[in-house]
């Protein structure tokens, strides 16, 4: 959760009450809280024109939205074509070995969550990963271990 | 220290997403800190100039000559500042490249300002004839004439389908409605493609200018830019550009006092590949699940909120100001008769000069891969090139004389697509690559059409069994049948083109499929289930390195004696092969 997280009323005031505001509202909650809880979704629906089934349908359709909290650091492995042919799968193996988690999992100490992303668009730096908002490119197993140790 | 140079020197740091990821921020910070000690040195930043493999880089312009100082580190900055003459730079140990030579073979229209101007400065764009086309259009050209012009230029949609932009605009123009919309499709979802990101990050005003002209031509007062959320820098620069354009009356209720009003709203995507499809994109802007709708009605008659809507991709719109400024004939003189103009491609994968290029249509793949791209980046030959992402296909090296235009590429089974070009070498398994794309499509299918939802899953299961050596010829036939049926029975382009990667690899690399099925072998060693690591007893010197580096302790043997891998526990990580100093470990 970010330090100045807005409450639901503030988010609705900013994004609007109509159906078209559903995605921006979810994006704002996700941005401020790191994930979207059922309670928050219910609150949104009670205060806007958006139906609960609609909002839940949207939240589960788009891969950006998370319904469970992530660890302190979010590792996203790029699964783009260039990264794939340059060995992105090996990077997943390295992380699994080092941190003991698979894709979609969080470490027991809540320090890392591992996810994949379709493409970061940094194909010339393949294989690449993103940790929080920072992109790391041209990775090798050793380089990746070094980066993980910095956290 | 207070050195003085005979004339002022401008240093520009390339700060696109890829440049920043390669370390451009540290370079810029160091420059900013050090430059105070010098007079006559100015620093600025620009965005991606397409030379991604050279990043982080600084561009210097001294006595009219532009040099690229490449693959820099912050430690080199003090040295550079002390040696800012062309002669000294060219003879230094820093990797220095003359920009003109680097651009050989390219013709930049869409990218003409990328990597040259500061994308956050409206003035930079104005100095490069920015918004001249908009002024021209608003002062002297009727909407119908604008559309005629675009039709005459022969511009075709750069998002993949290649439909005539002028005809598309005309349909939206003729639709009767008080409210119409234009949308810029910036949901560049194809893995391996980053052309639109580079244009938005490097020259955001150009996209905005194209969109305003489009709005004027079809009679829309509102435009949306639907950009994927994975591009935060592009969104940030577009936002800044929109604010600056508003302040200069280039956007707003009365654009340049012409009486024409236009506003632009940015919509962030939420991570769904299918939203690159225009009707799914419309659903997403409306705040719904991004699921495609049946066409007709086409968006030109019934689009966003059921109003006439024109959707163009970023690169298409970025061509518009140039066409208006230079004339339709100048544009149609470029490229081929049926595919005029240029096309931006992102080169990636196993290629030396990975980056962004813009070529005239009609250049051969060979000229791109070996000429501009410099060939393979590994010690293996380039085996094929994958074009157009999950909707595209693989073209084998034997066919590299194929020309890059809509029709020629279509005849190979691939497509121009949005412009992602990924080179693969002999270490790439084509069955695995087909499986990779199927995996992508399968997880991105919106689930509306049965064939796309379930058919791609069945295809993926068959391909997975192939890569594990558990498949047979009957399944190969099933794979072909499924591929054909999914293509026919899906509503939108995602499903219709989903089988393309499988179809093209089957067409050109059938032997690899047969090897996986009949011999249970993957000669590239990519399909781990089919690989067996063994140690040659004659070569092994018993150094114990492999045993020490084995994560599952499945290698036995004592010091100075030959070692042995127990297959039942082996996870095929390949560590033993990597650490062996004498090359005694090999893959079977």
State ipTM. Answer: 0.90
pLDDT confidence bin for B2, thresholds 50/70/90:
very low
Give Cβ neighbours of residue B303 (< 8 Å, ≥ 6 apart): B181, B183, B282, B309, B310, B311
Look at residue A2 and tell me if it is in a domain.
no
Examine the pLDDT at B470 and tell me if it is beyond 50. yes
Is the separation of the CB atoms in B207 and B318 below 8 Å? yes
* CATH architecture label of B532-587: 2-Layer Sandwich (3.30)
CA separation for the pair B193, B185 (Å, rounded): 14
Is the separation of the CB atoms in B100 and B51 below 8 Å? no
pLDDT confidence bin for B491, thresholds 50/70/90:
very high
Res B521: pLDDT: 92
CA separation for the pair B441, B456 (Å, rounded): 7
Structural domain harbouring A109: 73-149
Residues A83 and A144 in one domain: yes
Residues A119 and A82 in one domain: yes
Measure A5 CA to nearest chain B CA, in Å: 20
| B192–A119 CB contact, under 8 Å | yes
Q: φ, ψ for residue B424 (rounded to 5)?
A: -125, 150
Options 3.40.710.10, 3.90.79.10, 3.40.30.10, 3.50.50.60; CATH for B3-102 is 3.40.30.10
> Looking at residue A92, which CATH number applies to its domain?
3.40.30.10
Measure B21 CA to nearest chain A CA, in Å: 5
Residues A29 and A84 in one domain: no
Look at residue A112 and tell me if it is in a domain.
yes
CA separation for the pair B161, B416 (Å, rounded): 8
The three-point CA angle B423-B425-B426 to 5° equals 155
Give Dmax over CA atoms of chain B in angstroms: 88
Examine the pLDDT at B387 and tell me if it is beyond 70. yes
Residues A81 and A145 in one domain: yes
Is the separation of the CB atoms in B410 and B452 below 8 Å? no
Give Cβ neighbours of residue B526 (< 8 Å, ≥ 6 apart): B427, B428, B429, B432
By C-alpha distance, the chain A residue nearest B274 is: A62
Look at residue A66 and tell me if it is in a domain.
no
Is the separation of the CB atoms in B234 and B186 below 8 Å? yes
Look at residue A119 and tell me if it is in a domain.
yes
CATH 3.30.70.20 segments of chain B? 532-587
SS3 B256: helix
Using a 10 angstrom Cβ sphere, with 0-12 exposed, 13-18 middle and 19 or more buried, the burial of residue A104 is exposed
Look at residue A22 and tell me if it is in a domain.
yes
Overall average pLDDT of the A19-38 stretch: 94
Q: Cβ contacts (< 8 Å) between A135 and chain B: which residues?
A: 17-18, 20-21
| B348–A126 CB contact, under 8 Å | yes
Give Cβ neighbours of residue B260 (< 8 Å, ≥ 6 apart): B138, B216, B254
CA separation for the pair B346, B355 (Å, rounded): 6
Residues A132 and A88 in one domain: yes
pLDDT confidence bin for A90, thresholds 50/70/90:
confident
Residues A134 and A83 in one domain: yes
Q: Cβ contacts (< 8 Å) between B229 and chain A: which residues?
A: 27, 64
Examine the pLDDT at A1 and tell me if it is beyond 70. no
Mean pLDDT of chain B: 93
CATH 3.40.30.10 segments of chain B? 3-102
Residues A82 and A141 in one domain: yes
The model's pLDDT over B129-181, given as tens digits with 9 standing for 90+, comes to 999 999 999 999 999 999 999 999 999 999 877 899 999 999 999 999 999 99
Q: Pick from B115, B192, B442, B445 the residue to mutate for testing the A interface (most A CBs within 10 Å).
A: B192
Pairing between strand B58-62 and B65-70?
antiparallel
The three-point CA angle B266-B320-B338 to 5° equals 125
CATH 1.20.1440.230 segments of chain B? 430-519
Residues paired with residue B4 on neighbouring β-strands, in sequence order: B39
pLDDT confidence bin for B4, thresholds 50/70/90:
low
Residues A21 and A89 in one domain: no
CA separation for the pair B423, B414 (Å, rounded): 14
Q: What is the number of structural domains in chain A?
A: 2
Q: Pick from A81, A117, A130 the residue to mutate for testing the B interface (most B CBs within 10 Å).
A: A81
CATH 3.40.50.11540 segments of chain B? 122-332
* CATH architecture label of B122-332: 3-Layer(aba) Sandwich (3.40)
Q: What percent of chain A has pLDDT over 90?
A: 69
Look at residue A1 and tell me if it is in a domain.
no
CA separation for the pair A137, B190 (Å, rounded): 19
By C-alpha distance, the chain A residue nearest B423 is: A82
Res B5: pLDDT: 57
CA separation for the pair A1, B420 (Å, rounded): 37
Residues A131 and A85 in one domain: yes
Is the separation of the CB atoms in A114 and A77 below 8 Å? yes
The model's pLDDT over B414-442, given as tens digits with 9 standing for 90+, comes to 888 889 999 999 999 999 999 999 999 99
Burial B10-44 (b: 16+ CB within 10 A, else e): ebbbbbbbbbbbbbbbbbbebbeebeeebeebeeb
Q: φ, ψ for residue B464 (rounded to 5)?
A: -65, -45
CA separation for the pair B471, B128 (Å, rounded): 59
Residue B299: alpha-carbon gap to chain centroid: 26
Residues paired with residue A13 on neighbouring β-strands, in sequence order: none
Look at residue A29 and tell me if it is in a domain.
yes
Count of CB atoms within 10 A of residue B137's CB?
24
The model's pLDDT over B262-287, given as tens digits with 9 standing for 90+, comes to 999 999 999 899 999 999 999 999 99
pLDDT confidence bin for B62, thresholds 50/70/90:
confident
Pairing between strand B555-556 and B355-360?
unpaired
Going by C-alpha positions, the residue among B177, B168, B159 that lies closest to residue B226 is B159
Overall average pLDDT of the B182-204 stretch: 93
First-to-last C-alpha distance (Å) of chain B: 63
The model's pLDDT over B211-268, given as tens digits with 9 standing for 90+, comes to 999 999 999 999 999 998 888 899 999 999 999 999 999 999 999 999 999 999 999 9
Q: Cβ contacts (< 8 Å) between A82 and chain B: which residues?
A: 191-192, 348-349, 354, 422
pLDDT confidence bin for B201, thresholds 50/70/90:
very high
Residues A79 and A145 in one domain: yes
Is the separation of the CB atoms in B18 and A122 below 8 Å? yes
Count of CB atoms within 10 A of residue B302's CB?
19
Is the separation of the CB atoms in B199 and B186 below 8 Å? no
Residues A78 and A142 in one domain: yes
Pairing between strand B585-587 and B533-535?
antiparallel
Q: Pick from A30, A48, A82, A143 the residue to mutate for testing the B interface (most B CBs within 10 Å).
A: A82
CATH of domain B342-425: 3.10.20.600
Residues A19 and A77 in one domain: no
Res B415: pLDDT: 87
Examine the pLDDT at B7 and tell me if it is beyond 80. no
Is the separation of the CB atoms in B310 and B214 below 8 Å? yes
Q: Running DSSP on this structure, what letter comes out for residue B551?
A: T
Helix (H) or strand (E) holding B126: helix B122-127
Q: Name the fold adopted by B430-519.
A: de novo design (two linked rop proteins) (1.20.1440)
Res A87: pLDDT: 87
Q: Cβ contacts (< 8 Å) between A134 and chain B: which residues?
A: 21
CA separation for the pair B452, A48 (Å, rounded): 34
B209 CB-side CA count, 13 A: 28
Distances (CA, A) of A64 to A43, A82, B230, B270, B342: 20, 22, 9, 5, 34
Q: What percent of chain A has pLDDT over 70?
A: 99
The model's pLDDT over B361-386, given as tens digits with 9 standing for 90+, comes to 999 999 999 999 999 999 999 999 99
Q: Where is pLDDT greater, at B434 or A119?
A: B434
Chain A residue set in contact with B, beta carbons under 8 Å: 18-24, 26-27, 50, 54, 57-58, 61-65, 79-82, 84-86, 93, 97, 117-126, 128, 133-137
Q: What percent of chain B has pLDDT over 70?
A: 99
Q: φ, ψ for residue A17 (rounded to 5)?
A: -105, -10
CA separation for the pair B115, B45 (Å, rounded): 9
Res B1: pLDDT: 43
């Amino acid at each position: 959760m970010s330090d100045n997280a807005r409450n639901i009323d503030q988010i609705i005031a900013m994004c609007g009450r109509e159906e078209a505001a559903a995605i921006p509202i979810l994006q704002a909650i996700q941005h401020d809280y790191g994930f979207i809880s059922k309670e928050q979704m219910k609150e949104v629906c009670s205060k806007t024109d958006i139906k609960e089934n609609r909002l839940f349908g949207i939240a589960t359709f788009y891969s950006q939205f998370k319904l469970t909290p992530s660890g302190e650091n979010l590792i996203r492995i790029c699964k783009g074509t260039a990264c794939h042919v340059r060995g992105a799968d090996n990077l997943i193996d390295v992380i699994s070995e080092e941190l003991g988690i698979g894709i979609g999992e969080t470490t027991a100490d809540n320090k890392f969550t591992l996810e994949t992303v379709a493409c970061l668009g940094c194909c010339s730096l393949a294989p690449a990963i993103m940790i929080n908002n920072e992109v790391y490119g041209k990775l090798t197993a050793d380089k990746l271990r070094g980066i993980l140790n910095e956290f | 220290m207070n050195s003085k140079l005979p004339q002022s020197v401008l240093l520009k740091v390339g700060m696109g997403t890829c440049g920043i990821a390669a370390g451009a921020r540290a370079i810029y910070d160091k420059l900013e800190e050090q430059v105070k000690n010098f007079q006559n040195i100015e620093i600025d930043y620009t965005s991606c100039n397409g030379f991604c493999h050279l990043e982080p880089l600084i561009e210097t312009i001294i006595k009219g000559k532009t040099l690229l100082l490449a693959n820099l580190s912050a430690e080199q900055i003090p040295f550079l500042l002390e040696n800012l003459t062309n002669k000294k730079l060219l003879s230094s140990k820093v990797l220095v490249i003359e920009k003109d030579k680097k651009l050989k073979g390219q013709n930049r229209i869409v990218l003409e300002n990328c990597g040259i101007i500061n994308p956050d400065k409206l003035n930079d764009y104005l100095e490069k004839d920015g918004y001249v086309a908009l002024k021209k259009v608003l002062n002297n050209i009727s909407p119908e004439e604008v559309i005629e012009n675009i039709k005459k230029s022969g511009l075709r949609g750069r998002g993949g389908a290649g439909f005539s932009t002028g005809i598309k605009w005309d349909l939206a123009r003729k639709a009767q409605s008080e409210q119409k919309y234009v949308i810029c499709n910036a949901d560049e979802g194809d893995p391996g493609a980053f052309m639109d990101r580079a244009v938005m990050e490097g020259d955001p005003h150009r996209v905005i200018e194209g969109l305003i002209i489009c709005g004027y031509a079809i009679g829309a007062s509102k435009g949306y830019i639907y950009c994927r959320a994975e591009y935060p820098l592009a969104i940030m620069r577009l936002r800044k550009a929109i604010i600056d354009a508003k302040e200069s009356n280039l956007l707003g209720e009365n654009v340049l006092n012409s009486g024409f009003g236009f506003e632009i709203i940015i919509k962030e995507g939420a991570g769904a590949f299918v939203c690159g499809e225009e009707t799914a994109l419309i659903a997403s802007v409306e705040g719904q699940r991004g699921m495609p709708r049946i066409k007709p009605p086409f968006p030109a008659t019934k689009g966003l909120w059921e109003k006439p809507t024109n959707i163009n991709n970023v690169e298409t719109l970025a061509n518009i100001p140039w066409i208006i400024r230079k004339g339709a004939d100048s544009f149609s003189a470029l490229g081929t008769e049926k595919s005029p103009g240029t096309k931006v491609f992102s080169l990636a994968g196993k290629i030396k000069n990975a980056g962004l290029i813009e070529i005239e249509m009609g250049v051969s793949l060979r000229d791109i891969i070996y000429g501009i791209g410099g060939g393979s980046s590994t010690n293996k030959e380039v085996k094929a090139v994958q074009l157009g992402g999950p909707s595209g296909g693989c073209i084998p090296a034997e066919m590299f004389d194929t020309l890059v235009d809509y029709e020629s590429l279509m005849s190979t089974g691939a497509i121009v697509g949005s412009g992602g070009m990924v080179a693969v070498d002999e270490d790439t398994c084509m069955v695995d690559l087909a499986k990779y794309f199927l995996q992508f499509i399968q997880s991105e299918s919106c689930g509306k059409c049965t064939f796309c939802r379930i058919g791609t899953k069945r295809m993926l299961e068959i391909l997975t069994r192939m890569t594990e050596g558990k498949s047979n010829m009957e399944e190969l036939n099933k794979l072909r049948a499924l591929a054909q049926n999914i293509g026919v029975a899906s509503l939108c382009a995602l499903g219709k083109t989903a089988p393309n990667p499988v179809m093209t690899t089957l067409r050109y690399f059938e032997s690899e499929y047969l090897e996986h099925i009949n011999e249970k072998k993957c000669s590239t060693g990519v399909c781990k289930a089919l690989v067996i690591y063994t140690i040659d007893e004659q070569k092994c010197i018993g150094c114990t390195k492999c045993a020490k580096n084995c994560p599952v302790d499945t290698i036995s043997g004592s010091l100075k004696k030959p070692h042995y891998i127990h297959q039942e526990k082996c996870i095929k990580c390949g560590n033993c092969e990597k650490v062996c100093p004498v090359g005694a470990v090999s893959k079977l």
